[in-house]
Amino acid sequence: MSKKNAGLSLWYRFRWRTVWLLLHVMGPADLPDHIDPRSRMVRERAARQARALAKAQEKAQEATRTEAETTAGSTVA
């Protein structure tokens, strides 16, 4: 999976693209970024990806920590 899709399910990406396209065609005219629904969608998607990346990194660190503890425990015994 590419970095731009990391942490996003297939269904989420399909739905996001569909809503984004509908807003592009039938949504409001150009609005300032802080009230534009398409810009809000992009910000929310970026936040969701950041949460998924942080969770993946935390999980990898936990796995590394567990592996190090297991290795250290087996050499002592």
What does the pLDDT read at residue 30?
Answer: 82
* DSSP codes joined into one string, 2-65: -GGGTT--HHHHHHHHHHHHHHHHHS-S---TTT-HHHHHHHHHHHHHHHHHHHHHHHHHHHHH
Mean pLDDT in consecutive groups of 10 residues from the start of the chain, 77 residues: 74 93 89 90 92 89 84 63
What does the pLDDT read at residue 25?
Answer: 92
What does the pLDDT read at residue 20?
Answer: 92
3: tokens are: 């970095």
What does the pLDDT read at residue 6?
Answer: 73
What does the pLDDT read at residue 1?
Answer: 55
Q: Number of structural domains, the chain?
A: 1
The residue range of the domain holding 69 is: 3-76
